[in-house]
């Protein structure tokens, strides 16, 4: 049976990053960092959840 490798269970997309200002602005730099921080937190959480579910499936298979 063929395995569907196109579904990853990811329920979010990469954010639309804001355009940089002509001059440095601390508030806009902080906003940019917040966008990236949220995105990487989502990636981290998704990867951790995928690893946990894979381990649970492997343990279930082993114990059956």
Residue position matching structure tokens 């954010």: 15
Verdict on whether the full-model pTM lies above 0.75: no
Q: Where are the domains of the chain?
A: 38-64
Report the pLDDT value the prediction gives residue 20, as an integer from 0 to 100.
Answer: 86
Q: For the chain, 64 residues long, give each residue's pLDDT as a single digit of tens.
A: 455 555 666 777 888 888 888 999 999 999 999 999 999 999 888 888 877 765 656 556 555 6
CA distance 17 to 5: 28
Q: What is the pLDDT of residue 60?
A: 61
């Amino acid at each position: 049976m063929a395995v569907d490798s196109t579904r990853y269970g990811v329920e979010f997309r990469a954010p639309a990053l804001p355009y940089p200002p002509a001059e440095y602005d601390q508030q806009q730099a902080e906003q940019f960092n917040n966008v990236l921080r949220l995105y990487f937190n989502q990636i981290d959480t998704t990867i951790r959840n995928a690893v946990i579910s894979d381990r649970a499936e492997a343990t279930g298979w082993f114990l059956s």
